[in-house]
Amino acid sequence: MASSGGQQSATSPTEAWRSDRQPRILRLNLAGQPIEWLNWQEAVCLYARDLVVWSLGDVVQQVRGGVCRATGRRTEIGLPSIIACGGGQLARPRANYPLSNPALFARDRHHCLYCAQPLPAAALTRDHVLPLSRGGQDRWENVVTACRRCNQHKGNRLLEDIGWELLALPYRPNNAEYLALINSRRILADQMDFLAAQFSPNGRALI
């Protein structure tokens, strides 16, 4: 639909897709600990507030601003893939982060941990190793990716009841692993290298 009265038109589906595919910028604290993913607008705000202390990686986006009246030059910021920011207090990595199916499926590499079949996300489910009906909890250490068939067959039984074994043990990803998992479709090579150096020895996230 065309805009009228000088109002800005709505974002088209194509523009929304392109925005969703834009690379995210990894924000660190001054100690080099990964904190969060930023879009380019959030990164520009940090630069404008002079909070970016150092950076790593390639420039992933050039952002152009207005023209300076004094110099006649257009302002421009090259946004690198990784930025470290200061501030009044040292930002701390999150101690608690939500368990979600997309992150769980990425942790288990989109494989059913019972039959080893790789499947698209739409065909996968979350299964509780110790069923909720038997006192199990909905937490990282008690859930695995399962295909619908295996999940239905297992039901609320224990693995020893049906003679099954897990192909890999469930684990709680650390902060670096979690950030890699939730951005697995858009993560850049230098960002992955940086995060992978902080993965736990027993972790299998994306590597």
Instruction: Confirm whether 8 is domain-assigned.
Output: no
Spatial distance between the Cα atoms of 53 and 27, rounded to a whole number of angstroms = 11
Domain region containing 125: 101-162
The answer to whether residues 76 and 118 belong to one domain is: no
The answer to whether residue 94 is domain-embedded is: no
Q: What is the pTM for the complete model shown?
A: 0.80
Q: Is residue 180 domain-resident?
A: yes
Model confidence over 179-205: pLDDT tens digits? 999 998 889 999 999 999 999 887 665
Burial (CB count <10 Å: 0-12, 13-18, 19+), residue 73: exposed
The total of other beta-carbon atoms located within 10 Å of residue 20's CB is 9
What gap in Å lies between CA 15 and CA 20, rounded to an integer?
A: 9
Residues 158 and 198 in one domain: no
**111 Cβ neighbours under 8 A, 6+ residues apart:** 117, 118, 119, 145, 167
* Phi/psi at 183 (5° precision): -125, 25
- Per-residue pLDDT for 3 more than 50? no
Winning range, highest mean pLDDT, from 11-20, 62-71, 155-164: 155-164
CA distances from 82 to 43, 137, 148 (A): 10, 36, 38
* Least confidently predicted of 5-19, 156-170, 179-193: 5-19
Same domain, 69 and 123: no
* Domains contained in the chain, number: 2
- Cα distance between the two ends of the chain: 45
111 and 82 in a common domain:
no
Residue 77 lies in a domain: yes
Residue with tokens 């698209």: 120
